[in-house]
Structure 1
Amino acid sequence: MEKKRTSEKQVRVIGFLQDEHEIPDVEKFPLPEDYLSKSGFIPKNTREDMMMLKNSWCDESGNVHFSPNYAPDPFIGTDGEVYCLIGNETMKNQNLVLDKISKGNQLLGRVA
């Protein structure tokens, strides 16, 4: 007997690189205003949180950096999908990763 495929929604995990250490605020420059503005799925409040200088910044060369402490909660995208952003430094904390995935799975109930 062949199993039928269902179109169940899943948490979409997006990985990103975080700096290993925090740097002084005087060495941080704001991200460009249009950074990720055309992503097509990031809600305004999530993008605003991401753009905060404590979470992400540019260096003097224009390279984008993310704080080792930036571990946002999963969110429902503007496309109706559930996203979980997990950085490489966050991955070192198994309990935090499991918590984020669990929260993402809870959000699935709101979009399924």
Structure 2
Amino acid sequence: MLKEVELNNSKKEEESPVQVSVFISGDYDGKMGKKKYPMPENYLSESELPKPLIELSKKNGWTNENGNVYFDTKWQPAPFFDKEKNITWILANNSTPKEDLLIMMTSALQQEK
């Protein structure tokens, strides 16, 4: 973990956790179906993810008639910073090139200008 993080012109001199959550994207079970249903209102409500990421996930996902959750294979949200400068990152697909993932990781740790 980082001992010192500089973001938005402020320093945090304690450990800044990076939380990574992985979402499975695409037709992972072969039952995606043709009709898309909205995400449940309580989706991820019991998780530790920040509310903006929960809302973003609900906006970009859908369910099938059985209630299985799906995300488009191209959906990859940017890392999220909370007020304490902790980083939460959702890895939502396995088709993002490794180079792009490295760019996102390093840009998440650099100071925003």
TM-score (norm 1): 0.67
Give yes or no for contact 2:76–2:92 (8 Å, CA) kept in 1: yes
1:32-52 per-residue CA deviation (whole Å, 9 max, x = no partner) reads 001112324413x33222112
What residue number does 2:35 align with? Answer: 27
Alignment partners' CA distance in 1, 2:84 and 2:64: 31
What residue number does 2:44 align with? Answer: 36
Q: Does residue 48 of the first structure (1) align with residue 52 of the second (2)?
A: no
Give yes or no for contact 2:74–2:93 (8 Å, CA) kept in 1: no
Q: Report the CA distance shift for 1:104/1:72 in structure 2 as closer, same or farther (over 3 A).
A: same
Paired AA for residue 16 in structure 1? F
Q: How many residues align?
A: 97
TM-score (norm 2): 0.67
Runs of 4+ in 1 over 6 A off after TM superposition: none
Paired AA for residue 104 in structure 1? A
Q: Report the CA distance shift for 1:13/1:73 in structure 2 as closer, same or farther (over 3 A).
A: same
1:84-95 matches, within 5 Å, as 84-90=89-95, 92-95=96-99
What residue number does 1:101 align with? Answer: 105
What residue number does 1:67 align with? Answer: 72
Alignment partners' CA distance in 2, 1:25 and 1:59: 6
Percentage of pairs with the same residue: 27
Aligned equivalent of 2:21, options 14, 21, 31: 14
Q: Report the CA distance shift for 1:20/1:64 in structure 2 as closer, same or farther (over 3 A).
A: closer
More helix by share: 1
1:63-84 per-residue CA deviation (whole Å, 9 max, x = no partner) reads 1111101100100247752111
Q: Which runs of 5+ in 2 are unaligned?
A: 4-13
